[in-house]
Amino acid sequence: MNNIIEITNFLAPELDVYARLTEVQLLNREFPEKGLFIAESPKVIERALNAGYEPISCLMEKRHIEGEGKDILSRMEEIPVYCAEFDVLTQLTGFKLTRGMLCAMKRKPLPDVVKLCENKSRIVILDQVMNPTNVGAIIRSAAALGMDAVLLTTGCSDPLYRRASRVSMGTVFQIKWTFIENSDLEKIKAMGFKTVAMALKDNSLSIRDPALTSEEKLAIVMGTEGDGLSDVTIAECDYTVKIPMYYGVDSLNVAAASAIAFYQLGNKTNEI
């Protein structure tokens, strides 16, 4: 039996996690073991539960208790479920809930980069990708198109931010990922990975070059929105690769470019 609590007091401290705390505050860098995140929509929540994340409460539109959220609620009967009508929830949160459901969950410790990359052949490195929508879309493409893991520099948006996990359709809970320091690039190279800088440089290989797909281990490096990878990062990589473009188009959004790169260079042994 779920503990259903209809919202009557907007200022109740139990609702702070949904209405008043920022995602940076939820992340809790000072005490990461106390970090939380918000999963949005039944599909995303389901994938988080499947990955072993622990829920602490839900906030949902009243009509979804016996609707789209019913199966999810049956998996977490001990936690409080705060509910209200659509207009009340929109006023409380400031946005329309996707499929009428949010869930606050505990974060898990991030894996060590070397352990994460063991026995992997295709990984992604995101460098300063700051938009959570792009991070979510890239991770979804990475999961779908044969990549084994995603590594993010500390300047990237967190994959567990609500928008990132929602745009990823919950694949942030399926593909392995962690944050890295600049010094970790040498560790990755020491494991046998050849690094591929995706950049709009004339002195580059075509993404169709067979030399790339013949490499046993590849790390595909994608840069920040707008400026892309720095010249220093490009110089540190083993390959610089360019996606051919037409009609005078000078660049692609990083999420769109990632899907092309992963499809061409991904681990085909992951195909079902």
Is the pLDDT at 175 greater than 50? The verdict is: yes
d(CA 161, CA 204) in angstroms, rounded, equals 34
At 25 the pLDDT is 96
Is the pLDDT at 76 greater than 60? The verdict is: yes
Clarify whether residues 99 and 135 are in a common domain: no
Tell how far CA 218 is from the center of its chain. 20
- 35 band by pLDDT with thresholds 50, 70 and 90: very high
- 118 band by pLDDT with thresholds 50, 70 and 90: very high
Clarify whether residues 7 and 101 are in a common domain: yes
Domain boundary among the residues 106, 122, 149 is at 106
Clarify whether residues 84 and 123 are in a common domain: no
In this prediction, residues 132-142 reach a mean pLDDT of: 98
pLDDT tens by residue, 186-234: 899 999 999 999 998 888 899 999 999 999 999 999 999 888 999 999 9
**43 three-state secondary structure:** helix
Clarify whether residues 78 and 117 are in a common domain: no
d(CA 138, CA 150) in angstroms, rounded, equals 9
Q: What is the DSSP string of 226-258?
A: TTBS-HHHHHHSSEEEE----TT-----HHHHH
Clarify whether residues 93 and 134 are in a common domain: no
Clarify whether residues 117 and 240 are in a common domain: yes
Q: Which CATH number do you get for residue 214?
A: 3.40.1280.10
Does the pTM exceed 0.85?
yes
Clarify whether residues 34 and 123 are in a common domain: no
Helix (H) or strand (E) segment spanning residue 149? strand 149-153
Nearest CA among 92, 101, 103 for reference residue 160: 103
In DSSP terms, 4 is beta-bridged to 81
Domain count within the chain: 2
**Full domain range(s) for residue 171:** 113-270
Is the pLDDT at 108 greater than 80? The verdict is: yes
Residue 270 gets which letter from DSSP?
Answer: G
Q: Which CATH number do you get for residue 29?
A: 3.30.1330.30
Tokens standing for 146?
């044969």
